[in-house]
A and B are shown apart, each in its own frame.
Chain A
Amino acid sequence: MTVILRSEELTKIYETGEVSVVALRDASFEIEEGEFIVVLGPSGSGKSTLLNILGGMDRPTSGRLYYRDAPIHEATARQLTLYRRKAVGFVFQFYNLLPNLTASENIRLAAELVDKPLDVKDLLEDLALIEKADNFPAQLSGGQQQRIAIARAAVKNPDILLCDEPTGALDFATGLQVLKLLQLLNRKLGKTVMIITHNQAMAGIADRVFHLKDGRIETITVNAQPVDPEEIVW
């Protein structure tokens, strides 16, 4: 297996006035292509900071991050933009669809960023959302919006999908659908998926689980037998 992301002692310190807050401390790990990772931790444990740095949304205060040997920690703003464009797809807790673009337009917005996007119509069909294609986000349920958001992340055909509490705003059944979708993308298309959550129950579906506390990766556990989302309960 190829290592897709390599993190060496990543540290992020926020300076606010005279107070400095260490949000992430010496995070070192490797993620292989096609892995399904769940990052677990209570709020304030540094999950989002880690995700943001891995996704090129924020810069580490110190430490090194490599995407397929490319040093992301040294990247210029322009290189970071290209990294986000080509390598990463984001899924957010509150979907963040652009409110005045329709479902399909939101997906096409992302598709226009890359040379070889997936087919928007195929994606909508796969997600069983074809009949909602022309609806605006406000006309969709939370689960539908999140599925569109996942399609929007996937359409660029990125190597890595980074998901920030993707089921956090959804009820159990809808959340389950979203997780199944992510697993499908992981298994069928070989995407590396990283989900951050405070929901312990989700640990079961991951290949590996990172446990974060106070900005530190306390342990990394390996699931020999990841389960299907249907088998977990929360």
Chain B
Amino acid sequence: MVMLWRKLLRDLRENWGANLACVAVIALGIMTFNGYHMVVDNLDSARLRFYESCRFADGFASVKQMPASELSRLEAIDGIDQVQGHLRQDVTVYMPDWGQNLTLRLSAIDPEDTTALNQVLQSQGPGIHDESNEVLLGIGFAKAHDLQAGDSFDIIYQGKKQQLTIAGTGQSPEFIYLLPDSGSFFSDPARFDVAFMTTAALEDLTGHEGLVNEIAFTLRPGTDFHQIENQAAEILEPYGLTTLVAAKDQISNFMLDQEIAGVKTMSNAIPALFIGIAALILYLMLRRMVEQQRIQIGTLMAFGFGNLQIISHYSFYGGFIGVAGAAAGAIVGTLLSGAMTELYKMYFNLPDLVNQISWRYALYGLAFAAVPCLFAAFLGARNILRLEPAQAMQPPTPKRTRRLLIERIKILWEPLGMMGRMALRNLFRNPGRSFFTIIGTTFAFAMMWFIFSYNLMIDLMIMNQLEKAQKYDLKITLTQPADAQELVQSLLRMEGTDQAEPLMYAPVTLRQGPYAEETSITGVPDGSQLLKILDKGEQVIALPPEGLVLSKNLAGKLHTEVGQLIYVESPFRSEPTQVYVTAIVEQYFGMENFMSLEQLGQMLGTGEAATAAMVKTRGDPYTLDRLEEKLLLAKGVSGVENKAAIKKMYVDLMAPMNFAIYTMTLVGVFTAFAVIYSSGTVSLSERQREISSSKVLGMTDGEIMRMLVMENGVLTTLGILAGVPTTKAMMLYMQQQFATELYSLPTRLDPMGFVQSMLGIGAALALSMMAIMRRIRRLELSEVLKTRE
């Protein structure tokens, strides 16, 4: 059927604008499908290769410290195979140029042991030769600070400066994704990375000879982690066990798993959405097309073309668009997976992470796109087959136009004018198509607003905390509690200090009925100037003079409410004590509970003790740097947090998001355009006659345009309105998906984002109206009015 194919191609060409929009929507979906699936495979296979070649362990434990000789007790547990313990210590890197806190996690290794677990893959330099100050540095840190093998840098440990020399770079399967602790949000290898040195060297540096604090082990085949968990915990408990997890919950592996799972979900959900939209466009397009080609179809039937040939002809129209979109999407998707894989190299320490092109996904993508498109076109076209050929040859019976409800309300209907009335009637002439325009706009709008709300989310989660709550410049933590007043006095004596306030972090167990949670209480001085308490990320609330301010998350877990008495257990007190919950605050990031410092001291019997302090300086960066350096080297100080540096870190980390926001905005505007334009084209073809008649009667193009804008304006406005709850629902879904112990995402909608998204939809509306206007201008009046319909 060569001729029928030729007709198909010419039909496609005739309607190229709407077809192209449809192809692009599919291409976006298949791009995501291909790109994301390949990225998942890349990450998965690189991880697997790394784990196998470097012997990633099956279980991990952290303790405060434990004699290495005790490890054999673990080995004796039935089911545990190989056990390995080593020392690990976080140290501060001293780089005055950076003027901020840099931390390295020094991890002991035995470079000679080829049977060791979690082996380090050395990628540069001569390697460690048992020199006490040699390290294999994490690649991210080395890159960020432009450090090469042979370079040296200083670290500070317990107030002492020491020099380390770089013997190369290294990667370990334990540190694919680096987080300082489980409460952290992002990996930032410029500020936190790992470095490996020999056990002897680290023991020497820390003075912890013969001790380990990190344990890794493998399980015998057929053994489940849970079978040995209790026995291992029993052995480790006396040594201050902090974590005991199976490989799947090991923090780096867990983060990588989460990322892969996230991308995997998106890799099907996003394409499904886009292809759904494209299928709807095709359905509407084909429904109109068979109406328009009714006589042609009748003629084909008269000549003896069978139903199958005719329906295939129109279904292939959809299939062709699906295939074109899938092909374009597969190509762009391959590029996307390349770019994303490169991006992941920045965040994940995976030595063998390469972009592998898989044609499999191109094929799946083809089916994923072509089948729904084919089917949508089939559904759109199938009505015509219900007709006997003789009926198909006749023009369709005109649709009955019913009076709208609003037409009866004279006060509303009369002032609309002829054009307004026509516009309104048209909306109801094809409710299915109007509905589609609304849904498409809703989707595009929600996508934009969702992504635009990101900035507000970050403000509520992080930035407000840094700007509205933390009014200090530096926060120091002490190695052990000190007298609050003395601490403040000594800080005020230091050059550059303007204000100083003590803080007390007290580890506690809170109990309410059968519920208990381990947490900590932050003691804040009454009327503190340097630390405010924020509710819902933005409202400053006053610290009540009495009782406990509980985080909402924790209050939920304890099933408690304001006014209830709960029990507090603390290592500082042998007997549990009771305290009233006086306020509950909603926090998005972290779970902090507050009390008056004075009250906390009284309750725990510690007097006015402090474990940390906040310092406000006179403000100039030079003074700040000097003070920070002095504090870093001060005795009894375990860490100094520079708020400006932390803020800069977040700002840096958020920077790539701006690109994502920009891209998503474009995708949103384009999707809205594709929907409005394609349904507009269908509507135009339906009304060619009416519009041509209006033109002949003397209506100007501008007036016709006004009518179309009015129609589509009503639809997009409805779409935007529906977009409000949709965006909210998306945010709630995301909150549910990503909530952890330590953070929950705010679901507040950003009013600014609403305006931005509306502008986006407005732009899409304007673009599609312009494209449709071009078609109206080119309408050949005589031709249109001559053709039979």
Contact = CB atoms under 8 A, between A and B. Distances in A.
B321 interface: no
B303 A90 contact: yes
B393 A113 contact: no
Contact of B393 (A56, A57, A101): A57
A109 B3 contact: yes
Nearest to A80: B389
B655 interface: no
B306 A78 contact: yes
A98 interface: yes
Interface in B3-24: 3-4, 6-7, 10-11, 14
Given A55-B302, A84-B303, A84-B304, 20 more contacts: A52-B390, A57-B301, A58-B388, A59-B388, A81-B301, A81-B304, A85-B304, A96-B299, A96-B393, A100-B7, A100-B11, A105-B6, A106-B3, A108-B2, A108-B3, A109-B3, A109-B4, A112-B4, A152-B303, A156-B303
A100 B211 CA distance: 85
B307 interface: yes
A85 B1 CA distance: 14
Interface in B380-427: 388-391, 393
A89 B295 CA distance: 16
Contact of B390 (A57, A77, A86): A57
Contacts of A92: 299, 393
A33 B6 CA distance: 36
A14 B4 CA distance: 33
Interface of B: 1-4, 6-7, 10-11, 14, 295-296, 298-299, 301-307, 388-391, 393, 783, 788
A-B CB proximity, top 6 nearest: A85-B304, A58-B390, A109-B3, A100-B10, A52-B390, A57-B390
A113 B388 contact: no
A56 B302 CA distance: 8
A98 B299 contact: yes
A105 B388 contact: no
A86 B393 contact: no
Interface in A128-150: 138
A81 B7 contact: no
Contacts of B306: 78, 81
Contacts of A105: 3, 6
Contact of A101 (B6, B304, B390, B783): B6
B302 A57 contact: yes
A110 B307 contact: no
A82 interface: yes
Contacts of B788: 94
A101 B299 contact: no
Contacts of A99: 296
19 contacts: A48-B390, A52-B390, A52-B393, A57-B301, A57-B393, A78-B306, A81-B304, A83-B304, A84-B303, A85-B303, A88-B304, A89-B303, A101-B6, A105-B6, A109-B7, A109-B303, A110-B303, A112-B1, A152-B303
Q: Which of B6, B303, B391 has the most CB of A within 10 A?
A: B303
A106 B303 CA distance: 11
A92 B303 CA distance: 12
B295 to A, nearest CB: 6
Nearest to A59: B388
Nearest to A99: B296
A184 B715 CA distance: 59
Contacts of B305: 81, 85, 113
Contacts of B391: 58
Nearest to B305: A113
Given A57-B390, A58-B388, A105-B6, A82 B304 contact: yes
A96 B390 contact: no
Contacts of A88: 302, 304
Given A110-B303, A113-B304, A96 B295 contact: yes
Contacts of B307: 77, 81
B411 to A, nearest CB: 36
Q: Which of A58, A98, A99 has the most CB of B within 10 A?
A: A98
Contacts of A83: 304
A154 B788 CA distance: 25
Interface string A55-90: 111110000000000000000011001111110111
Nearest to B394: A48
A96 B10 CA distance: 17
Nearest to B3: A109
A84 B783 CA distance: 31
Nearest to A100: B10
Interface string A158-177: 00000000000000000000
A96 to B, nearest CB: 4
A152 B302 CA distance: 12
Nearest to B13: A100
Contacts of B390: 48, 52, 57-58
A48 B2 CA distance: 31
A110 B7 CA distance: 13
